[in-house]
Amino acid sequence: MVMFIDKVKIRAISGSGGNGVVAWRKEKYVPKGGPAGGDGGNGGNVYIIADETLSTLLDFKYKSKFIADNGENGRSKNQHGANGKDIYIKVPCGTIVKELGTSKIIADLVLNGQQVLIASGGRGGRGNVRFVSPVRRAPQFCEPGEPGIERDLELELKLIADIGIVGLPNAGKSTLISVISAARPKIADYPFTTLVPNLGVVKKPGGDGFIVADIPGLIQGASLGAGLGLEFLRHVERTRLLIHLVDASQEDPINNYNTINQELQNYGGRLKDIQQIIVLNKIDITEPQKLSELTDYFKTLSPDIFNISAATTQGVKELEKFLMQKIDEIPPPNLEIEVEEDHAAHDHDDSGFTVYKHKKIYTISGGRIERIVSVTDLRNHEAVFRLQNILRSMGVYDVLEESGISDGDTVSIAGYEFEYYSDKLKEVEDEG
């Protein structure tokens, strides 16, 4: 038996880019030296990849946070920092990737090896050698690396089984799957023994096989959330064929049959159109006259009728032979799930900022602003001049003025404090 969890939430974080560096050539016989700061390495990407060896999302119950490596900072002598290592999150084939909160579908991973980029790594910052120009021969500044991307996602498994077995609780679905495959599901005589779908592989004489799924918990009202059916009806959508298992020994098997079909109809989508074969089970404990009447009735609905006893295996071989033939005739469904373009996988913009005022101190917080300050040599006039230009272009000074800042008030960014004077900013504008 293969037990599985079919919906999980994960957090994926790509690596941040390494910072560029300000460095200088210091060789003994190079008297004038020159800038030699290397670029930071790119952060690692995060991918999700389909793996046919997996059949469940159970592993994500124990690990749900995935973090790629950051890029290394640049080094002197024009040496670039190493790129962060990419990570690949393996999921079963048939997994749909959604953005948590919006439910936007990012990917539908059906084929083995199919992958999707969900968070690109941040670009490494440029070292000071990158800013050399005819008028700036010795730049005193560098760039910080871009931040990584943090995303909360939902993984939903739509089971890729060739054949689905549907029927009311206690119709014998688990017993049938146990006799036609190597699966060993829990079997008992009370409702909802099966709490999750069971998978079984039916071997063909040629060596290959097909997958059969026992879909649990279908009762009247399942499509509206009653019982367990709503949780698992999604797994029927990808099947090629349905075995509609009917307990012939029950008081009203025809009504039971109609109940299940009505739920499939109510659920909508492809379910109502999937080809069915009708299998009357428990014929070993059904009165012959009743069985004959049921068989005649169901033959008016479908030409494919089988009478079996899963408990004694009577008639099971004939059913298996038919399934092997049928599965070769029916091609896999071509389910087109609308996947939206995923801009968030490449969105490294953290230029937003907030201003908090306490007395005469204005504290500015924001990812990009703090990163820029962290790589600025605040003892160097040229580097500070460039920082002020960046703050002005980002609209920081406009927000400060709207917040009521006055000359002589203190501005604090990432632990660095300076006094605000509007006339000095005017000088910067004029020089810029």
Please report, for the domain that includes residue 279, its CATH number.
3.40.50.300
CATH code assigned at 395 = 3.30.300.350
For residue 145, which of 386, 396, 366, 367 has the smallest C-alpha distance? 367
Give the integer Cα–Cα distance in Å for 408 and 199: 72
Instruction: Please say whether the beta carbons of 87 and 68 come within 8 A.
Output: yes
CB atoms within 10 A of CB 132: 13
Answer yes or no: do 315 and 196 share one domain: yes
- Of the residues 279, 296, 329, the one at which a domain ends: 329
What DSSP letter does each residue of 205-239 carry, written as one string? Answer: TTS-EEEEEE-----TTGGGT-TTHHHHGGGGTT-
- 208 & 263 share domain: yes
Per this entry, what is the length of the chain?
432
Shared domain check, 170 and 303: yes
Same domain for 243 and 148? no
* Residue 315 covered by a domain: yes
In 3D space, the residue among 126, 128, 32, 144 whose CA is nearest the CA of residue 382 turns out to be: 128
- Looking at 125, 158, 191, the residue that finishes a domain is 158
Does residue 271 form part of some domain? yes
Residues ≥6 apart with Cβ < 8 Å to 424 = none
- Can you give the CATH number for the domain in which 42 is found? 2.70.210.12
Q: Which residue has the tokens 């020994």?
A: 249
Least Cα distance to 257 among 212, 302, 287 occurs for 302
Structure tokens at 116: 């999707």
How many CB atoms sit inside 10 A of residue 197's CB? 28
pLDDT in tens, the chain (432 residues): 344 467 899 999 999 999 999 999 887 766 667 899 999 999 999 999 999 888 778 889 889 999 999 999 999 999 999 999 999 999 988 899 999 989 899 999 988 999 999 999 999 999 999 999 888 888 999 999 999 999 999 998 876 678 888 888 888 888 898 888 755 544 444 444 444 567 777 777 766 778 888 876 555 544 444 444 455 666 677 788 999 999 999 999 999 999 888 878 877 667 778 889 999 999 999 999 999 999 999 999 988 999 999 999 999 999 999 998 898 898 877 766 778 888 889 999 999 999 999 989 999 999 999 999 999 988 888 898 899 899 999 999 999 999 999 999 999 999 889 888 886 565 555 554
φ/ψ (deg, to 5) at 202 = -95, 120
In a domain, 343, yes or no: no
- In angstroms, how far is the first alpha carbon of the chain from the final one? 71
Residue 281 lies in a domain: yes
The answer, as to whether pTM is greater than 0.85, is no
Both structure tokens of 412: 């604090």
Same-domain status, 173 and 139:
no
Question: How many Å apart are CA 387 and CA 303, to the nearest integer?
Answer: 79
**Within a domain: 392:** yes
Residue 319 sits in which domain range?
164-329
Does residue 337 lie within any of the structural domains? no
Asked if 61 and 7 count as a contact pair (C-beta separation under 8 A), the reply is: no
**Total number of domains constituting the chain:** 3
- Chosen domain end from 123, 139, 158: 158
Residue 338 lies in a domain: no
Q: Is residue 344 part of a domain?
A: no
Q: Are residues 25 and 134 in the same domain?
A: yes
